[in-house]
Structure 1
Amino acid sequence: MSIQHLPLDQHRRHSRLHERVIFSRRVHLLLGLVVAVLLPGLWYWGWDFWLTVPLREWMTLVAAVAAYCLSIGSVQRLSQLPGTKAYVYIFPAVTLCYACALGVLELFHIDYSKPYILSSYVIAAVYCSIGYYVGARLRRLKLAVVPFGKATTLCHNHGVDWRILEAPRFDDLRVDGVVADLRADLPDDWERFLARCTIHRIPVYHATKAHEMLTGRVLLDHLYENKFGGLIPREDYEITKRGLDILAVLLLLPLMLPFMALVALAIRLDSKGPVFFTQPRMGFHCRQFIVYKFRSMYVDHEGTGYTQEGFDPRITRVGRIIRKYRIDELPQLFNVLKGDMSLIGPRPESISLTDSYEKDVPFFHYRHVVRPGISGWAQVEQGYAAEVDDMIRKLEYDFYYIKNFSFWLDVLIVIRTFKTLLTGFGSR
């Protein structure tokens, strides 16, 4: 059998495997609907429900179906982002979606069965959490690597089972995709191999793209491979994001203002000086703006141009607490209302640091193509950065955020921000 025909048969087996994976996901979704939605209905209403079809039961059933499908869809979208595990997010997703369904029913005064909704929620949360957890424990991402160019240097670790191919065929190997340096000079038989992978729906990833998917970073030495056009954020979501920012701040401020008043009082009692700290920062489209923060330092202490890590004598007692849990950033909600900032985006740097980093870090100003944020991808993944090497890594995270500018990435950052607030990760 020739080399041209051998891979084709193996590609077909992998194509069927890919179809089985998609089929299993659909079966999981349908089975979940049966277990979490239909079975509780039969328990409460019996088989005659399908004959009588009362409006109250129909509305309850529709709400449960919508909540379940939305929660599963949300988790599947989140699980495609770097460093995410579906079973970690399924319980909060199911809880939030069922809560939203109840909110809609209550808002429009729609009569519904509370015992059924509660039962459906409990079953969905338990069934999906166990299912996703068992699936994650039994299955590990397996990627084949074409041994040319940069592929072998970028493809390592990250919890992936890497398989370096010795010939343009799979033999008995089962993989979830193929990684190759598509800019390398590949032999003809390897190019035919990748073409057949694509034809038979086996994912083929460029090596740098695979690295981005797994690490959440865009390597600066590969930035030209994106031709800058790939880093332009989506304008449609930019408009939507601005509206969501305003709505979120207007909902948060009534809750936050009493708490902010208590923080302001604690600052005044702890040390002399103003409650707020203001500083010029580099913002959207390289326009300067004044950022607002709660003061966390003594007013009569001199220091460097950036905040020191570890013990810093310039920081007050209250300042250490509000810095650790990011409470000092709360006044930036007013920056969001003004349009200077967004809730989510790259953190704005001071003018002096911006000028300094721009001399050492290529493309630094490109991070200002989107509005800076109170929290961002680099903050939840890396934490605080002051040195040039740390700033380069932070910039790689910022570029990943810009390149993958989307609602779901923002949702993931919000979730991880809450984790940061609870743990104090990356405080300074």
Structure 2
Amino acid sequence: MTVAESEAHRLDKADPGHRHLFHVPPADGGRYPEAAYLAGNSLGLQPRATRAELLADLDAWGRLGVEGHLEGQRPWLPYHELLTGPVARLVGARPTEAVVMNSLTVDLHLLMVSFYRPAGRRTRILIEDSAFPSDSYAVRSQARFHGLDPDATVLRLRPRPGEDALRTADVTDLLAAEGDTIALVLLGGVNYLTGELLDIPAITAAGRAAGAVVGWDLAHAAGNVPLALHDWGVDFAAWCSYKYLNSGPGALAGVFVHERHLGRADLPRFEGWWSTDAATRFEMTPTSRPPATVEAWQVSNPPILAMGPVRTSLELFDSIGMPALRERSLRLTGYLERLLDEVTADRPLTVVTPRDPARRGCQLSVRIGAGSAGELTKRLRHEHGVVADAREPDVVRFAPVPLYSTYHDCWRVADALAATVAEVTP
């Protein structure tokens, strides 16, 4: 490469980020002690504060037993409320509209109980063809649950021939033309495969104008790009917290329901112990009294030891702020793009993520022209200490996460990719 390693070090001094707040895995190969970890879009790194905070919650259990529900530094009964303010600010919601609960696909199903109500001609569900498989399985199973043929019910959006990303006009034009048949729009805010950031406000407005309910899977958007779910008029959304939110493998998910739907008696919901008003919960009545907040969608009491890491991570986002993280993300991802442009120029590699910074988060996806994406990522890791994510058969995803990734990490990615792919170039 023509870009000198010294330039990466210079940029890191000028724009250091917050790497010191995280545990970075050791390198599995190469000449550097730490990994160049660009797989935060699959699993975020562990904040250094998580262990002590989690042990404090464990200690409270040991010291207090059942009394920990109401006593101690962080009583368990209202524990989930400690997350409400930070998670609402993260996604641009009002505190009554956001809650942390369950896991992502469970939350999507609970939300679709309320918001996927097929009737008459309006039965179809619109998703992107490259949706994460879990979303495809979820909407197809919802169609079957309602007695519908999933092949006829699920409408899959594909990019134009020869293109990798969806165009906003293609989505909005389809909604204008066929919206009277669509009951639910459920798209990924940032596409997991290509890293494309969809125009959430424009698509939401088009979907609602067509008479559809509009929901979003924000697994790759929350903590990655700024969100304003309330102002954009999104009907509902859900997101996991183990990727950009750094809350640990399988961590709890978040849910948003717009305030216009809160307190509606006509919306069906599944209910349980935590769906009723907290003020009357221990009256132990057989009939739920759901609050006029998103907490009405809660079913079970929150797992405290799983909530702790989410709370710790959200405090980081609250302290640093998404605007600052987005600005650094644009700089860092732009630098990686410049390096990849040089590497891909004479190799069988293509960046499939949109070049417009406004149409992507911090992920750049590279399609390889020969061989296996999985085999390539193994070599990057074991020979160069670069950790990336493979999506077979031919896409490798690199995510320079603004919280902890460095310019030198990006330089190492490009240098390793150049060295590895050079050997298979025809």
Q: TM-score range by the shorter chain?
A: under 0.3
**Structure whose CA Rg is larger:** 1
Larger relative helix fraction: 1
Query: TM-score if structure 1 supplies the norm length?
Result: 0.26
Kindly indicate whether structure 1 or structure 2 has the higher relative contact order, using CA contacts under 8 Å at least 6 residues apart: 2
